[in-house]
Amino acid sequence: MSLVAPHGGKLVNRVLDSKAAEATKAAAKSYKQVTLSPREQGDLELLAIGGFSPLTGFMGEKDFKSVCSNMRLANGLVWPIPVILSPADDVTAGINVGDTIALNDSKGQLLGTMKVTEKYTHDKKLEAKVYGTDDEKHPGAQVTAKQGNFCLAGEIDVVSINNDPEFPEFRLKPEQTRKAFADKGWSTVAAFQTRNPIHRSHEYLTKCALEMTDGLLIHPVVGETKADDIPAKTRMECYTTLVNNYYSKDRTMLSVMPLAMRYAGPREAVLHTLIRKNYGISHFIVGRDHAGVGNYYGTYDAQKIFDNFKPEEVGVTILKFEHTAWCKKCEAIVSSKTCPHGPEDKIAPSGTKVRELLKAGERPPMEFSRPEIADILIKWAQSV
């Protein structure tokens, strides 16, 4: 049995070969220079390596409007969140359709180029539909508000997907994870998305998924997140420690994804699914308040959104899990489906309470977090 096909049927590759890259580097010196934001740098990397297949560049107006309004590209293919290039107005003012621009990282180093095929008004009110709010307290809506009033579109040609990548040994491209799955003989693979350390309930979800599939891909986001999120470096130490001590190495892979979080809740759950489909997974875990923030989304909205699509349109089996916690009476991780006992019997401290314990150098209950993970987080919490 073969792996699931990429979204749209073909894995995109916009990385130039060495000869073309050298020619592009030389030519790019004369192009108008555009510095990408951290989010745009992550998007360019995913565009280049096929994580955003079938996209080949930053979206044009028809796709932008269709995605915001209908969660589909203009050709009807499911896509829930726009991928746009919207620099500051003083940058776009000097750029016209037909220009080729140099796309640089925050240090001014060349990443790639783009021939501008469209320049259109950035409809921020329409994009607010992605988040369900234009409240600038929402981190995704806040980014949109700060972006420029125009978008530039076109196919990209990439010289370097990242000039200074974090975790290079774990930064696998879709073609690499697909090859690894095939080499291991996995035809069904479950993926777990996370931007937090994995606690005992998360561990339970991933191991339930592994019981149903040949392998598990733990695939944390290491792109831009909220300022109060735990840094990627600390999280990666947690992930590697957990995988090395508590998972079957023959059935588990750890890799990272360069996407910047949008905190778009339900829509982002769909995006996360489609990206992982491109990496070769067949099953995707969606739990409580996936990619949510604050009180902007309902507890299980990220699961319900998949009811809007036919199964073949997404092409991935969605594993919907309810809220889980350790039950003192059952002496196990449970959900409302499996446990008759009340909340007073559950060990599920709030995020605030966990941070207070860590800051004080105290481990949260072992039923909530593995002690090795708690110790890593204590070290981090006491350093900030």
State the Cα–Cα distance between residues 114 and 102, nearest whole angstrom: 7
Kindly tell me if the per-residue pLDDT of 352 is higher than 90. Answer: no
Residue found under tokens 């759950």 = 269
User: Under 8 Å CB-to-CB from 201, ≥6 apart: which residues?
Assistant: 323, 324, 325, 326, 333, 348, 368
Q: Which two tokens stand for residue 140?
A: 């995704």
State pLDDT tens for residues 294-345: 999 999 999 999 999 999 999 999 999 999 999 999 999 999 999 999 999 9
**Residue 113, SS3 per DSSP:** strand
Pick from 250, 68, 246, 248: nearest CA to 144: 68
Q: Strands 215-220 and 346-347, how do they pair?
A: unpaired
Cα-to-chain-centroid distance, residue 176: 18
Kindly tell me if the per-residue pLDDT of 266 is higher than 70. Answer: yes
Q: Average pLDDT for residues 341-359, to the nearest whole number?
A: 93
The total number of residues shown for the chain amounts to 384
Q: Is 276 a catalytic residue?
A: no
3-state percent breakdown (helix, strand, coil) of the chain, nearest 5:
40, 15, 45
Pick from 40, 10, 255: nearest CA to 158: 40
State pLDDT tens for residues 361-376: 999 999 999 999 999 9
Question: Looking at 14, 39, 171, 195, which residue is catalytic?
Answer: 195
- The answer to whether 296 and 258 are in contact (CB under 8 A) is no
| Inter-axis angle of helices 371-381 and 351-359, nearest 10 | 70
Question: Looking at 13, 70, 163, 196, which residue is catalytic?
Answer: 196
State the Cα–Cα distance between residues 137 and 154, nearest whole angstrom: 31
Q: What pLDDT is stored for residue 339 in this prediction? A: 97
Per-residue pLDDT band for 1 (boundaries 50, 70, 90) equals: low
Q: What pLDDT is stored for residue 334 in this prediction? A: 97
Cα-to-chain-centroid distance, residue 94: 32
Per-residue pLDDT band for 351 (boundaries 50, 70, 90) equals: confident
Give all domains of the chain, ordered by start, each with its CATH number: 18-158 (3.10.400.10), 168-321 (3.40.50.620)
State pLDDT tens for residues 95-108: 999 999 999 999 99
Kindly tell me if the per-residue pLDDT of 73 is higher than 80. Answer: yes
Pick from 264, 276, 243, 257: nearest CA to 373: 243
State the Cα–Cα distance between residues 55 and 67, nearest whole angstrom: 13
Q: Which of 21-25, 173-177, 220-224 has the lowest mean pLDDT?
A: 220-224
Q: Which of 113-122, 147-156, 226-235 has the lowest mean pLDDT?
A: 226-235
- The answer to whether 189 and 181 are in contact (CB under 8 A) is yes
State the Cα–Cα distance between residues 32 and 20, nearest whole angstrom: 19
Q: What pLDDT is stored for residue 227 in this prediction? A: 83
Per-residue pLDDT band for 177 (boundaries 50, 70, 90) equals: very high
Kindly tell me if the per-residue pLDDT of 265 is higher than 80. Answer: yes
Question: CA triplet 23, 27, 31: central angle to 5 degrees?
Answer: 150
Kindly tell me if the per-residue pLDDT of 162 is higher than 80. Answer: yes
Q: Is 196 a catalytic residue?
A: yes
Q: Average pLDDT for residues 205-226, to the nearest whole number?
A: 96
